[in-house]
């Protein structure tokens, strides 16, 4: 570009994307363009929701995790109690696809916070680590970050003591190990004094299982919690399917309690389905089809469809939209992720999963604004996997997120862009996995996040709110930045248009100016995100 042009552009509020807008705090992004750096608190939210598993196009999983950990540490230094509150808010409401980042962040506070923050982190342990698996993961993280001091031992002990005996027995049977940790390890470290006789008997069973021979007793103990453990031991030695069925039905044994040889029987799955938690049900749809239980017009199909349609149940079980989406994609294709098993999916279950995806978001009210939903489908958006879900790229996730708003808003258009507009044929009536297939197949291209605003200007589209789903790694426009395109749009149309940037990776950049109240940076696949978008578009936040 000649100096004449450069100077002319500058006077018109135009800066090439490979240079920072003068007078702003823009920084170089990973693609060689300039964006803003999100602050550490925003980074914390991105990390808690999106995690850093599988990295991004530009940055490895390890490097991304270190960047995010440093941001979390900065937040802990600034206000450790606030970090604990953020962790609890996202984890307890099930707003993130995976709980692992919350557990990691909690372990960081428990290790690196000041006295008050460390105490708050340990007090929050039962709220964030709700299963034995979560507890083991916490133990693994915290062990590498700090020693087993008294506070930590007491907190882990309290975790066990606070459970009622029957719930304690369930945790012991269902979640027996992870990350090389077992309840034997955590109990030996924490050494809780039993609060009831049942607790004592359960601890003893865990730590001295070989010495006790529970399965030898033909009669179950009177105590409900101990009877559950007895049933678990009995089912290990069951010789026929009738015995297995009786034990599952009488004691509500979960799938994890059964030796795998019984998991090829339709009758066993039928018995399990009666009390099966929703998470397990959603994960095992393929298996239940494969063994012949879940077939068209079967009772099992009716049960499953009814449960998937129950928004309260979905929310109580903290079913995240990503979990539903992931199940839908696998179930609908009729074969497991590793391709080892196949089944015939039923149409009603596929449709029920499609509907459950939308139900799993927190209530969304329409903003009733003219919305342009713009998907960044450039090359970088097709690398990495959201929340570690195999094959679910940020670009695929964008399509699914855009459909949530498209389903809610009466007045919207969906476009997609690279360094030019890319034709895209998806609409709110499409099934999720079909919409994702459309975006998934697009070719790679460069990135220019100014395209949506330029397109709206050129086509004279009236837009109140631009929503851009992106990693904010914009670089490919030699003339102007996204916010400058938005400024032009506002000036030429007289519409005070807003910009919402939906972050689809946990990197540290945003194209939204932190100084413009008409712009919002939020995290993709937080189940609260569609509602926050709607509130912002209506001027409520
Ligand atoms: Ca890109």
The pLDDT value given to residue 6: 64
Residue that is last in its domain, among 213, 237, 261: 237
**Do both 36 and 176 map to the same domain?**
no
Q: Ligand 1 centroid to 383 CA: how many Å? A: 10
CATH number assigned to the domain comprising residue 390: 3.40.50.410
**Do both 384 and 485 map to the same domain?**
yes
Residue that is last in its domain, among 237, 255, 270: 237
Q: Ligand 1 centroid to 474 CA: how many Å? A: 6
Q: Ligand 1 centroid to 440 CA: how many Å? A: 14
Q: Ligand 1 centroid to 381 CA: how many Å? A: 6
Q: At what angle do helices 347-359 and 432-440 cross, to 10 degrees?
A: 80
Residue that is last in its domain, among 221, 237, 253: 237
* Residue 445 to residues 379, 398, 473, Cα–Cα distance (Å): 5, 16, 12
Q: Ligand 1 centroid to 444 CA: how many Å? A: 9
Q: Ligand 1 centroid to 374 CA: how many Å? A: 14
Q: Ligand 1 centroid to 230 CA: how many Å? A: 56
Q: Ligand 1 centroid to 446 CA: how many Å? A: 6
Q: Ligand 1 centroid to 68 CA: how many Å? A: 20
Q: Ligand 1 centroid to 472 CA: how many Å? A: 7
Q: At what angle do helices 197-207 and 165-174 cross, to 10 degrees?
A: 10
Domain ranges, residue 211: 98-237
Whether 448 is in a domain gets the answer yes
Whether 70 is in a domain gets the answer no
CA dihedral 466, 472, 475, 478 (to 10 degrees): 20
The pLDDT value given to residue 8: 61
Q: Ligand 1 centroid to 445 CA: how many Å? A: 8
Whether 254 is in a domain gets the answer no
**Do both 129 and 204 map to the same domain?**
yes
The pLDDT value given to residue 340: 79
Whether 509 is in a domain gets the answer yes
Whether 523 is in a domain gets the answer yes
Q: Ligand 1 centroid to 442 CA: how many Å? A: 13
**Do both 396 and 527 map to the same domain?**
yes
**Do both 30 and 122 map to the same domain?**
no
Q: Ligand 1 centroid to 50 CA: how many Å? A: 18
Q: Ligand 1 centroid to 475 CA: how many Å? A: 8
**Do both 509 and 395 map to the same domain?**
yes
3-class secondary-structure state, position 520: strand
The pLDDT value given to residue 54: 79
The pLDDT value given to residue 9: 67
**Do both 405 and 507 map to the same domain?**
yes
The pLDDT value given to residue 53: 82
Rounded CA-CA distance 277/282 in Å is: 9
**Do both 120 and 36 map to the same domain?**
no
Q: Ligand 1 centroid to 473 CA: how many Å? A: 5
3-class secondary-structure state, position 511: coil
Q: Ligand 1 centroid to 394 CA: how many Å? A: 11
> Which tokens go with 372?
């342009």
**Do both 149 and 28 map to the same domain?**
no
Query: 142, 113 in Cβ contact below 8 A?
Result: no
Strand duo 465-470 + 498-503: pairing: parallel
User: How buried is 292 (Cβ within 10 angstroms: 0-12 exposed, 13-18 middle, 19+ buried)?
Assistant: middle
Q: Ligand 1 centroid to 133 CA: how many Å? A: 36
In order along its 541 residues, the chain shows pLDDT tens digits of: 556 656 666 667 899 999 999 999 999 999 999 999 999 999 999 999 999 987 888 899 999 999 999 999 999 999 999 999 999 999 999 999 999 999 999 999 999 999 999 999 999 999 999 999 999 999 999 998 988 999 999 999 999 999 999 999 999 999 999 989 999 999 999 999 999 999 999 999 999 988 878 878 888 999 999 999 999 999 999 999 999 999 999 999 999 999 999 999 999 999 999 999 999 999 999 999 999 999 999 999 999 999 999 999 999 999 999 999 999 999 999 998 787 799 999 999 999 999 999 999 988 899 999 999 999 999 999 998 888 888 899 999 999 999 999 999 999 999 999 999 998 989 999 999 999 999 988 888 999 999 999 999 999 999 999 999 999 999 999 999 999 999 999 999 999 999 999 999 999 999 999 999 999 999 999 999 999 999 999 998 7
Q: Ligand 1 centroid to 379 CA: how many Å? A: 5
3-class secondary-structure state, position 535: helix
The pLDDT value given to residue 4: 65
Whether 375 is in a domain gets the answer yes
Q: Ligand 1 centroid to 21 CA: how many Å? A: 20
Whether 356 is in a domain gets the answer no
Alpha helix positions (H), 208-240? 224-236
**Do both 29 and 146 map to the same domain?**
no
Q: Which residues pair with 28 in a beta bridge?
A: 34
Question: pTM of the predicted model, to two decimals?
Answer: 0.93
Residue in this structure with the two tokens 């299963």, named with its chain if needed: 131
Q: Ligand 1 centroid to 297 CA: how many Å? A: 45
Q: Ligand 1 centroid to 385 CA: how many Å? A: 15
Q: Ligand 1 centroid to 55 CA: how many Å? A: 14
Q: Ligand 1 centroid to 113 CA: how many Å? A: 36
Whether 50 is in a domain gets the answer no
Q: Ligand 1 centroid to 378 CA: how many Å? A: 5
Q: Ligand 1 centroid to 372 CA: how many Å? A: 19
Q: Ligand 1 centroid to 515 CA: how many Å? A: 24
**Do both 411 and 498 map to the same domain?**
yes
Q: For the chain, how many structural domains are there in total?
A: 2
Q: Ligand 1 centroid to 509 CA: how many Å? A: 12
**Do both 29 and 118 map to the same domain?**
no
């Amino acid at each position: 570009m000649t100096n004449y042009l450069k100077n002319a552009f500058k006077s018109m509020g135009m800066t090439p994307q490979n240079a920072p807008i003068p007078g702003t705090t823009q920084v170089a992004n990973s693609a060689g363009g300039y964006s803003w750096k999100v602050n550490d608190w925003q980074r914390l939210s991105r990390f808690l929701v999106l995690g850093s598993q599988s990295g991004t196009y530009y940055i490895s999983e390890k490097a991304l995790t270190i960047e995010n950990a440093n941001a979390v540490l900065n937040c802990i230094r600034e206000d450790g109690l606030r970090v604990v509150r953020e962790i609890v808010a996202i984890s307890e409401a099930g707003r993130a696809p995976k709980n692992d980042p919350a557990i990691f962040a909690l372990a960081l506070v428990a290790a690196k916070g000041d006295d008050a923050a460390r105490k708050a982190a340990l007090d929050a342990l039962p709220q964030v680590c709700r299963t034995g698996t979560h507890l083991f993961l916490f133990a693994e993280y915290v062990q590498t970050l700090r020693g087993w001091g008294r506070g930590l031992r007491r907190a882990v002990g309290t975790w066990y003591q606070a459970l009622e005996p029957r719930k304690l027995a369930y945790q012991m049977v269902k979640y027996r190990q992870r990350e090389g940790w077992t309840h034997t390890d955590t109990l030996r470290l924490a050494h809780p004094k039993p609060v009831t006789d049942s607790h004592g008997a359960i601890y003893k069973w865990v730590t001295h299982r070989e010495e006790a021979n529970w399965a030898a007793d033909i009669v179950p103990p009177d105590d409900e919690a101990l009877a559950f453990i007895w049933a678990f031991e009995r089912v290990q030695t069951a010789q026929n399917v009738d015995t297995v069925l009786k034990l599952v039905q009488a004691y509500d044994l979960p799938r994890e309690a059964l030796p795998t040889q019984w998991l090829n029987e339709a009758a066993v799955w039928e018995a399990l389905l009666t009390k099966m938690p929703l998470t397990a049900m959603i994960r095992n749809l393929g298996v239940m089809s494969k063994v012949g239980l879940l077939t068209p017009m079967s009772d099992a199909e009716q049960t499953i469809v009814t449960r998937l349609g129950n928004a309260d149940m979905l929310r109580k079980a903290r079913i995240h939209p990503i979990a539903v989406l992931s199940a839908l994609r696998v179930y609908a294709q009729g074969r497991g992720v590793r391709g080892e098993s196949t089944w015939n999916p039923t149409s009603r279950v596929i449709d029920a999963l499609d509907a459950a995806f939308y139900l799993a978001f927190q209530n969304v009210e329409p903003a009733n604004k003219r919305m342009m939903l713009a998907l960044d489908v450039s090359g970088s958006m097709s690398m990495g996997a959201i929340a570690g879900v195999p094959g679910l790229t940020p670009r695929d996730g964008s399509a699914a997120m855009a459909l949530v708003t498209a389903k809610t808003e009466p007045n919207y258009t969906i476009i997609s862009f690279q360094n030019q507009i890319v034709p895209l044929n998806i609409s709110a009536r499409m099934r999720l996995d079909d919409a994702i297939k459309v975006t998934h197949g697009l070719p790679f291209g460069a990135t220019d996040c100014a395209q949506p605003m330029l397109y709206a200007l050129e086509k004279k589209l009236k837009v109140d709110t631009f929503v851009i789903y992106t990693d904010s790694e914009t670089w490919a426009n030699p003339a102007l930045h996204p916010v400058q395109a938005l400024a032009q749009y506002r000036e030429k149309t007289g519409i005070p248009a807003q910009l919402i940037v939906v972050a689809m990776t946990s990197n540290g950049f945003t194209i939204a100016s932190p100084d413009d109240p008409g712009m919002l940076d939020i995290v993709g696949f937080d189940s609260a995100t569609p509602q926050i978008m709607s509130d912002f578009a209506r001027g409520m936040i």
